[in-house]
Amino acid sequence: MAKRAPKRTAQQRRRLIIESAQAMFAASNYARVGTAELAKAAGISEPALYRYFSSKKELFISTIKATRRRLLDVWERLASEVIDPLEIIRAIGLGYYDHLRSRSPVMKLLFQALSEADDEEIRETLHANFAAFIRFLEENI
């Protein structure tokens, strides 16, 4: 008898949807990726996707917000390894550059999001991301 996968909580399912959507949006772009593709990538039905997100845009914005936390986690780790403010800036700059060179889906997603900045909600979300990055630097340098 095949074992059933453990049932996920709504929060776990939502996180899984965001993670798979990040990869989808990074590989293509916001306009080209459909909700059916997003649902399939997350292993759920399209109607189930709408139980977690009211629209594709809400999901896209959630993926942008998730990149903020991921990048800040990396920056916190890098900053904790050095004391000198200039070394913190250097470590973060090199880490950011390495992230770019690795063709990280997180970085691709952020660049895709910049191309959608004509949309006010997306622009506000990007602004919040960059404001958080600035706050981090102000508090740690």
Say if residues 85 and 41 touch (Cβ distance below 8 Å): no
CB atoms within 10 A of CB 53: 19
Query: In sequence order, what DSSP letters do the residues of 12-28 get, joined into one string?
Result: HHHHHHHHHHHHHHHHS
In-domain check, residue 5: no
In-domain check, residue 98: yes
Helix (H) or strand (E) holding 71: helix 56-80
Q: What is the CATH number of the domain that holds 19?
A: 1.10.357.10
In-domain check, residue 97: yes
Q: What pLDDT score was predicted for residue 4? A: 53
Crossing angle of helices 10-27 and 35-42, rounded to 10°: 120
Say if residues 122 and 113 touch (Cβ distance below 8 Å): yes
Enter the pTM of the model. Answer: 0.87
Structural domain harbouring 61: 10-140
In-domain check, residue 3: no
Tokens of 42: 């997350």
Q: Based on the structure, what is the number of domains in the chain?
A: 1
Q: How far apart are CA 10 and CA 51, in angstroms?
A: 10
Say if residues 30 and 114 touch (Cβ distance below 8 Å): no
In-domain check, residue 2: no
Q: pLDDT tens digits for the chain (141 residues)?
A: 555 556 788 899 999 999 999 999 999 989 999 999 999 999 999 999 999 999 999 999 999 999 999 999 999 999 999 999 999 999 999 988 888 888 788 888 998 999 999 999 999 999 999 999 999 999 988
Q: How far from 137 is each of 29, 76, 90, 103, 107, CA to CA, in Å?
A: 30, 10, 12, 24, 19
